[in-house]
Chains A and B, each alone.
Chain A
Amino acid sequence: MSRESDIRLGTGEAPVAPPQTPKKINWAWLGVIPFFLFAIFFLFLPSATIFIRSFEAPDGSFTFENIISLFTKADIVNAYQASLSISVITALAGAIFGFLLAYAVVLGGLPAGIRTFLTTFSGVASNFAGVPLAFAFIATMGNAGLVTRWMETVLGFDIHATGFTIYNIWGLSIVYMYFQFPLMVLIMAPALDGLRREWREACENLGGSTAHYWRYVAFPILMPTLLGTMILLFGNAFGAYATAYAFAGSFINLVTILIGAQIQGDVLFNPGLGNALALGMIVIMLISMIGYAYMQRRAARWTR
């Protein structure tokens, strides 16, 4: 299963036991056991069916068809591509602008109240998704949306006559940003707090410019958190479903929508394929995690 392969990852060197007294190890393990027990009973075991049912044909027999079709059916391959693209795009763009926002309110010299305003707002906005979010954007930029109507009446400009439409992967990306930006802000704000003023001043006293500071001091320190948040954003977008469906369900082909169609829809019913698709997503997440873990180690290497 996925956890099993996890064991073999990240091992490239001979194991080196960190010097620890047995008593300390006991305490530490005690601290993490509840977490893993919970994960096993309420995450891994219930999801074990994903793995099992991936090999189930519609009539109940064992088959590899589902797994094979993940790589061969054009629909499915396209869906994975689309899901990956939108996840990467929104993770990157979300990280960049989210970071800028977090910087603006934490270190950018804005009044302190604005920080609270933005972080509490981000708390809500990070979960504003699904039908309400899709509706909000349709009501803003759709054919009958607020901004569209405003542009027509005030500017005399019919944006949709030019063939412009928000109902594609770019439009959906813009919608996804609504919960990606706030997530970045919420996680990065405390991390930016950790950038001590003394470091900045020391850098300047040594003659370093702003660029120097960022390149050699701030970003290296922030990089582990930045990476961690980016993979969070990636996962967030990768697993999103309700928003995409309500927004442009018939046009946009994402893996989550395919899964929904197979296990919850009114037309198709191949839960084996649905589970295989989910398994594929888990594998992709795993692979992303490997890459991320590698980058993490490199980034955090010098901090101790």
Chain B
Amino acid sequence: MRDRPPIAPTATVKAIVETPVKTWKRVRKFNLWSWIILGIGLIYFFLPLLATFEFSLRAIKGRYSLEAYRIAFSDPAFFRSFGLSMLWAILTIIITLLLVLPTAYWVHLRLPRLRPAVEFVTLMPFVVPAVVLVFGFIRMYGRYTFMVSIPILLIAGYIVLSLPYMFRAVDAGLRAIDVRTLTEAAQSLGASWPTIIFRVIFPNLRVAILSGVFLTFAIVMGEFTFANLLVWPAFGPYMELLGAKEAYAPQALAVVSFLLTWGSIGLLARIGRGAPGQGQIAGAR
């Protein structure tokens, strides 16, 4: 755009010619601001982590050491509970997606009057205390042993907790792409519903869905109340237990679990990204 041939400078041509330079300058300016904002964000996020890390190194008096980490890792229950929570997180993600995706899609496309109801459902989990919900579960379903011996209630609880985030993420994604046009276009080309949903809409929602997946994963990994009261050996109760009886090791554990969860999410991101070059049709930059 910068290599335009010289033309008699009318006002419009002047505007056109000047635009590239202005854009370029603007991009430069945004760049600086972007780095500043990023910098502030990084400082804010990493200072507390650094403080926790620094403290975890103080397990042995007078010098820095990795003693707390040694203690944290020497407990087999750590790996067991982390693994179990990961498994339950994946289950939760799958079921929540199955619940939320069709709902968000249909509400967006055909049932907009249901939006208030759906949004209310997704906002309720914030104001219902987890304790109350768990006791409600136990009271209502505790007598059915199968509900208690396999973690149905636990997963159900996790799903309830992640509904707000998953829905909002998918909803944002649906807004960003023109669902109606895409659907109609695909329909006019003769696509069946499964094709429309799985090969047209979802690929374009991938980034938004991933956001919801990350959020759900983190929620399940860190969740405590449900696992605790329903007596399942998840990672949350393990962390609490350790925090109550050890010093230094819990902080080491906090750092480790942060990094591990981050790594798992990075892996999910990689998987979710799919084959390189498979970009979004709609809403692409």
Taking Cβ atoms with an 8 Å cutoff, the residues of A that contact B are 2-3, 6, 9-10, 20, 24-25, 27-29, 31-32, 34-36, 38-39, 42-50, 97, 100-101, 103-110, 114, 116, 118-133, 135-137, 139-140, 145-147, 177-178, 181, 183, 186-191, 193-194, 196-197, 204-205, 207, 210, 224-225, 228-229, 231-232, 235-236, 238-239, 241, 256, 259-260, 263-264, 275, 278, 281-282, 284-286, 289, 292-293, 296, 304
Q: List 6 A-B contacts (CB under 8 A).
A: A28-B106, A28-B110, A122-B214, A146-B50, A177-B44, A236-B164
A186 and B219 CA atoms in complex are apart in Å by 14
A291 and B124 CA atoms in complex are apart in Å by 16
Nearest CB of chain B from residue A121's CB, rounded to whole Å: 6
Known: A35-B99, A146-B50. 5 other contacts (CB 8 A): A32-B106, A32-B107, A43-B128, A46-B136, A137-B48
* Residue ID in chain A nearest B266 by CB atoms: A120
A187 and B207 CA atoms in complex are apart in Å by 10
B73 interfacial by beta-carbon distance below 8 Å: no
A298 and B129 CA atoms in complex are apart in Å by 32
Taking Cβ atoms with an 8 Å cutoff, the residues of B that contact A are 15-16, 19, 22-23, 26-27, 30-31, 33-35, 37-38, 41, 44-45, 47-52, 54-55, 98-100, 102-103, 105-107, 109-111, 114-121, 123-129, 131-133, 135-137, 139-140, 156-157, 159-160, 164-165, 168-169, 171-173, 175-177, 180, 193, 207-208, 211, 214-215, 217-219, 221-222, 224, 239-240, 243, 250-251, 254, 258, 261-262, 265-266, 269, 280, 282-285
Q: Given A108-B34, A186-B169, A225-B176, are A235 and B106 also a contact pair (CB < 8 Å)?
A: no
Tell me whether A6 and B116 are in contact (CB under 8 A): yes
A241 and B103 CA atoms in complex are apart in Å by 30
Tell me whether A293 and B116 are in contact (CB under 8 A): yes
Tell me whether A194 and B102 are in contact (CB under 8 A): no
A228 and B165 CA atoms in complex are apart in Å by 11
A86 and B100 CA atoms in complex are apart in Å by 29
Q: Given A132-B254, A225-B176, are A42 and B214 also a contact pair (CB < 8 Å)?
A: no
